[in-house]
Chain A
Amino acid sequence: MGRIDSNRDGLDRPSKRMPEPQLIFDRSHPGRIGCNVPVCDTPEVDLEAVLGELRTELHLPEIGELDLLRHFTNLSHINYGIETGFYPLGSCTMKYNPKINERTAALPGFAQIHPMQPVETIPGALELLYGVQDMLCEITGFSEITLQPLAGAHGEMTCLMLIKAYHESRGEGVQRSVVLVPDSAHGTNPASAARCGYDVVSVGTTPEGNTDLVDLASKLNSGVAALMLTNPSTLGLFEPNIEQICGMVHAVGGQVFCDGANMNAMVGTTRPGDHGFDCMHLNLHKTFSTPHGGGGPGCGAIGLQHHLEPFLPVPVLRRADRSESIIADYNRPLSIGRVSAYYGQFLMEVRAYTYLRAFGKQHMADISRHAVLNANYVRARLKDVLPPAHDRPCMHECILTAEKYKKENGIRALDISKRLIDYGFHPPTNYFPLIVPECLMIEPTETEAKETLDEFCDALIAICKEAVENPDLLHNAPQTQIVGRLDETLAVKNLDVRWWPAKVTVGVGV
């Protein structure tokens, strides 16, 4: 138990002994301000005459610069990031975000360029974007990459739009109304299909963790527009029948989309474009280390085979004919149009480019090799207390089940996760994939050292012992954070989603 009050990173961890933080609005004092606003040297104007009706109140906080920084710094202390500690959140690839990437993204020639300035004035930006496309083509095995989608789910949706446009171009747009999605898929898959007007039909998984080929065959017909498949699957397993599956879907005229959330298992080792997929999305904020930022920005490139190229969203960045220069091509009669306003998440692409160039030809495969090594190591170390859901080597993440503790001790996977917080670790993903009972989905990533994995495994082994001997420790966890478990039902019942100014402000100049 000594671990609970000790701290791994030297910071004095905030705890329930700390007072609840005030809202920024409650720290406001009329008349204060957090920076010197620019002094205007043009003539004053009568605002109402110029603008029309004005607002009467603006309830934004008034706070000095130091108090502002203390507010946000103290809030950062009660927030866990990769730089705080190990973050084995399955399916999220919480790898280290190199500092050099932040520095390159802050260069004025990248940060201070306007998306609608003449395209001739941004050759360096176009060259960088094209460089990312080029490297991602080679890594994924696809002939085309576009960086227009703004996030992973946005990339999935864009891929389905390309597929839709492709079927329409062949006169099969109406006929193909179904998208097949395995029962293990991320929720974004069926949601993205619905967003493109498709009906979603689920495909089963075999007990071994592969796509159920019999079930798939029974659902394949000329009404199928696409199969959305995650490879490696969300069970952390490589789909060994992938070529056969792609062949089956193609035989009925369907397309196969690869959910690239798990690309980290494949970088430099195997290429989805070679597996038979027609298109895929990538999460550059997972595989290529752009920071997650607390839930965004995401960054969702997509890759595609040549037959989908005419439908690419605009602008399409390509080399000019008979020239080395990169142009933004809008003259694309079959294009699906725009999916985002400018050039995608440009400053995230700068970070991804920096990352890709740091690895280069020599080191790229080290990513997947060490990601898979780390996941198998965690799996091996924990197999006696938390058995893997499948008796096969895993890829970049391992899916373990805590079913035994639920049956014998009334302990759920979530309880184990919450107890991990007390040991100083971020929990793994729980209850996903939906088809594994009481599942813990652990994705260590390649950037974690062996001793970190050992400390984490030691903690989980200790927690599993506690689950048997003192289950209340788990039920009541976490105890070390500023709050214990929160009442999510109450949050829905008594919705409180914003601060409101006091209705009556008699005698107070607000």
Chain B
Amino acid sequence: MPYIPHTEADRQAMLATIGAETIEELFREIPENLRVAPGALNLPPALDEPRLMAHLTALSKKNVNLADVTCFLGAGIYDRYIPATVGAVISRGEFLTAYTPYQPEASQGYLQTIYEFQSMVAELFGSDLANASMYDGGTAMAEAAIMATGIKRRNKVAVSQAIHPHFRQILDTYCWSMGIEVVTLPTPNLETTDYGLADGAACIVVGYPNFFGTIEDLASARKAADEAGALLIVVADPVACALLKPPGEYGADVVVGEGQPMGVAMGLGGPLVGLFACKKDLIRQIPGRIVGRTKEAHGDRGGYVMTLRTREQDIRREKATSNICTNEALMALAATVYMTTLGKNGMKAVADASVRNTQYMISELRSAGFTVHAGRVFGEFVLELPKDAASVRDAMLEKGILAGLPLGSYYAKMDNSLLVAVTELRDKSQIDTYVTSLREVVA
């Protein structure tokens, strides 16, 4: 076994130093009836490296991957280009195989990249600051809402219906376990959240753009939150924020989001990277790690450390702001390299191309006689079909097009609705083919 370098001579020499005859002796404190003989477990046989690679390759080929189809599916996870620089950096062993930077002197490289990540996320979202990342967008949102209940000492949270249904399900589960009430705010026209039920809530959670692709009016969301005495939590798409007035500038208290579109493989939705940014007066309440700049204790050099550690579980235990220990440092590094690679102009160009492709597709669909629900949208919209959207999706897939997400299983009376995403990777001919194929499928 190449991962275990011991020779028989090594084992014997080591046992002699320990003063034991056999390795079994070292396990003598485990009651005998609880021990399993080596090799006794019912497991598949070991595979050598070439066979292992062949087996995994064969398994992977059973899946329809996005190299083989044209992807118009988004719904929170987007098919965006990942520059070659990202893989080159995150596969470096010094980053890939490091642990949490608890020893800052030997971890300055990672700590600096996290400080850069925090700076870029805060900048994109227009917030004062950001943390070192969360598991993913969905849990980041749930953590933000729970934080709000602690700050406001209220036992209720209000979330727009036009938030990703899976995110709301996570919120429901988290809140159930803590005895917190979740109120869903309706979005009757898919475009505007009705804040009427937000009274008494610790926070209002709204999407930007929302799940249907619409850019909601954050000024009215802020006003509603003020009237309810609640925090405003915005779930934002970081790529859209390269163009849009950022949520922080509308006065959002917390901005969370899924960072996957910035350099992270879709990978069936994991690992992802949760973004979490907020106003500076909330910093002592937020979950997750934070990296700060400081100086040497006995010297003049600057350096970075994990800071405000007394919020965290390993120090504060049951009084911690959250139980979170790990973050998604490697994916946060991917996002940092992505934002650096594209930079100011590249991020805008990617966002701009998404808007252009989306607008072109909307106009082509409308010209072809389809109904599209799209007011102010960024890169996604709801297509109304004359028949069941799931069957259309399946028929389109046979033509090599992943047409979007049928909304019927998530929203009542939306069986004929398809959520369609158009990223910068799509082009005119792919969009034209989509429209032509769709006409054939619904004919």
Contacts and interface: CB of A to CB of B under 8 A. Distances in A.
B270 A447 contact: no
A295 B320 contact: no
B330 A426 contact: no
A354 interface: yes
B109 A75 contact: yes
Interface string A256-286: 0000000000001111001100000000010
B18 A68 contact: no
A435 to B, nearest CB: 13
A153 B170 contact: no
Nearest to A193: B318
Interface string A143-163: 000000011111011001100
B97 A362 contact: no
A231 B293 CA distance: 38
Contacts of A41: 427-428
B393 to A, nearest CB: 7
A45 B94 contact: no
Contacts, number: 697
A491 B17 contact: no
Interface in B284-307: 289-299, 301-305, 307
B106 A80 contact: yes
A248 interface: no
B38 interface: yes
Contact of A75 (B30, B61, B81, B112): B112
A427 B107 CA distance: 12
Interface stretch (B7-15, B226-234, B434-442): B7-15
Interface in B319-351: 319-320, 322-331, 333, 337, 339-350
Interface stretch (A55-63, A215-223, A316-324, A458-466): A55-63
A404 interface: no
B316 A187 contact: yes
Contacts of B60: 104, 107-110, 124
Contact of A298 (B89, B109, B268, B326): B326
B360 interface: yes
| Most B Cβ at <10 Å: residue of A82, A105, A116, A153 | A116
A21 interface: yes
30 contacts: A33-B342, A33-B343, A47-B243, A80-B94, A80-B103, A82-B93, A84-B93, A105-B267, A111-B266, A112-B65, A114-B77, A114-B269, A117-B73, A121-B397, A152-B326, A194-B320, A197-B178, A240-B29, A268-B41, A297-B270, A339-B139, A341-B139, A347-B265, A360-B44, A421-B106, A478-B106, A483-B108, A483-B303, A485-B298, A486-B305
B323 A53 contact: no
Interface residues of B, number: 205
Contacts of B341: 33-35, 65, 68
Given A76-B94, A341-B137, A373 B99 contact: no
A373 B89 contact: no
| Most A Cβ at <10 Å: residue of B25, B83, B99, B118 | B99
A295 B326 contact: yes
Nearest to A210: B29
A354 B5 CA distance: 19
A308 interface: no
Interface stretch (B121-129, B199-207, B365-373): B121-129
A450 B10 contact: yes
| Most B Cβ at <10 Å: residue of A113, A125, A240, A379 | A113
B145 interface: no
B159 interface: no
A362 B39 contact: yes
B299 to A, nearest CB: 5
A40 interface: yes
Nearest to B294: A491
A80 B375 CA distance: 50
Nearest to A487: B297
B26 A393 contact: yes
Interface string A474-503: 001010011111111011101111111100
Contact of A270 (B30, B100, B101): B30
A128 B59 contact: yes
B224 to A, nearest CB: 18
Contacts of A374: 14
Contact of A341 (B170, B299, B307): B170
B323 A50 contact: no
Contacts of A484: 105, 296-299, 301
A341 B101 contact: no
B416 interface: no
Contact of B302 (A20, A113, A292): A20
| Most A Cβ at <10 Å: residue of B3, B77, B245 | B3
A60 B176 contact: no
Given A58-B348, A298-B325, 4 more contacts: A34-B343, A71-B340, A297-B135, A358-B49
Nearest to A189: B317
Interface in A29-60: 32-35, 37-38, 40-45, 47, 50-55, 58-60
